[in-house]
Amino acid sequence: MRRREFLFAGAAIVTKPGVHYGFPRVVRAANGDLLLFYRIGNSHAYDHSSVAMRRSTDEGASWEAERVLFTDPDPARSAHNPVAIVTATGRVILWVSRFRFTPLPHKREAGAWAWSDDHGASWTPFRTFDGDGSRSSYYMTDVIRTQDGLLGCMATFPPSGIGNCYAVLWHSADGVKWAVRADLTAPAANRGDEVALLETGAGEILCLLRTRRAGGVYPKGLSVFASKDGGRTWKEGENLYGQLGVTLQRPFLTRLSSQAVLLTGRDVDRKEVVAYVSRDNAQTFGEKRVMDSYAKDGAYTSCVVLKNGDVLVVYYADRAGELASLRVERMRVAGAI
């Protein structure tokens, strides 16, 4: 195992008794600032909630005051799962999923999006991302910049928002107009869920899919899919359980160099926040690091590479007297930069 240095662990960014802070997403704006998006509520998902943003101008050493960007006008619906990307032109795009938690049955309704052209200072009004009545495009689970634009994967449901989930790839050349590029999984298979995306070469995309199957019984590991044509067609590979030894949920991939890649996420069986390193461009992963643990809810991660080569890992975890708080670890992976 190669030497790694972990500079500090578990430091709280946002914490308050009786408040559940979760689902962080951090990106670097074109002006160099770090923008951190997250959900504010009082449960994992079953409450009327908001999505907020904090800014750091000093590489995550401190964070400016919280700004609430979106609160669902429907008190029976939760604002959930913020996911952001910064385009080549500097536009910051933010997606938010909308979960109807009452009355039963729960519904995954079409998600909303907005954007900022001034590094997060001001935002357009939120609007529905996909108005196609034949489906409910609920949750943009990851989106990346590629050589031909932007590629994102949406957890998608029937129009009712109830039933099987499937994963749909969306593409945009400019971040303005979006179109379906492919179905990663079939609706009948009920295998749609959160993914991590990574461009591994010219036109080559890796997709790690959180395992899911019909009936709510989740198999061990992490499903692997690969595309050699920019996400138009996909081939499923070997499950990563043999390499990781965990059932990894909400995977997140961060490129450190041409060959080094960081994989972070939630070990659902042990209730731990974990990280792995690949030295061969995401072909294999090892060097496991347990960053933290949680009791009931936590461990979704998001990462950004800092200017000095360190990696800022933001996640959420519950502690004594807390529902959940946003926490951070600053990591240095030896030989990766």
Per-residue model confidence (pLDDT) at position 306: 97
Per-residue model confidence (pLDDT) at position 217: 73
Per-residue model confidence (pLDDT) at position 27: 98
Q: Provide long-range contacts, Cβ within 8 A and 24+ apart, for 116-122.
A: 116/91, 116/92, 117/90, 117/91, 117/92, 119/29, 119/30, 119/31, 119/33, 119/35, 119/90, 119/92, 120/29, 120/33, 120/35, 120/53, 120/55, 120/92
What is the C-alpha to C-alpha distance for residues 178 and 264, in angstroms, rounded to an integer? 28
Spell out the per-residue pLDDT of the chain, length 337, in tens.
233 344 455 688 989 999 999 999 999 999 999 999 999 999 999 999 999 999 999 999 999 999 999 999 999 999 999 999 999 999 999 999 999 999 999 999 999 999 999 999 999 999 999 999 999 999 999 999 999 999 999 999 999 999 999 999 999 999 999 999 999 999 999 999 999 999 999 999 999 999 986 666 778 999 999 999 999 999 999 999 999 999 999 999 999 999 999 999 999 999 999 999 999 999 999 999 999 999 999 999 999 999 999 999 999 999 877 899 999 999 999 887 6
Per-residue model confidence (pLDDT) at position 336: 79
Per-residue model confidence (pLDDT) at position 300: 96
For the chain, the three-class secondary structure string (H helix, E strand, C coil) is CCCEEEEEEEEEEECCCCCEEEEEEEEECCCCCEEEEEEEECCCCCCCCEEEEEEECCCCCCCCCCEEEEECCCCCEEEEEEEEEECCCCCEEEEEEEEECCCCCCEEEEEEEEEECCCCCCCCCCEECCCCCCCEEEEEEEEEEECCEEEEEEEEECCCCCCCCEEEEEEECCCCCCEEEEECCCHHHCCCCCEEEEEEECCEEEEEECCCCHHHCCCCCCEEEEECCCCCCCEECCCCHHHHCCCEEEEEEEECCCCCEEEEEEECCCCEEEEEEECCCCCCCEEEEEEEECCCCEEEEEEEECCCCCEEEEEEECCCCCCEEEEEEEEEECCCC
**Distance in angstroms between the alpha carbons of the first and the last residue of the chain:** 17
Region of 60 on the Ramachandran plot (φ > 0 left; ψ -120 to 50 alpha; else beta) = left
**What does the block give as tokens for 90?**
């500097």
- Is there a contact between 247 and 303 (Cβ–Cβ < 8 Å)? no
Per-residue model confidence (pLDDT) at position 214: 60
Per-residue model confidence (pLDDT) at position 4: 39
Per-residue model confidence (pLDDT) at position 201: 97
**What does the block give as tokens for 152?**
């994102």
Per-residue model confidence (pLDDT) at position 1: 27
Nearest by Cα to 297 from 266, 275, 327 = 266
Per-residue model confidence (pLDDT) at position 9: 55
Per-residue model confidence (pLDDT) at position 319: 83
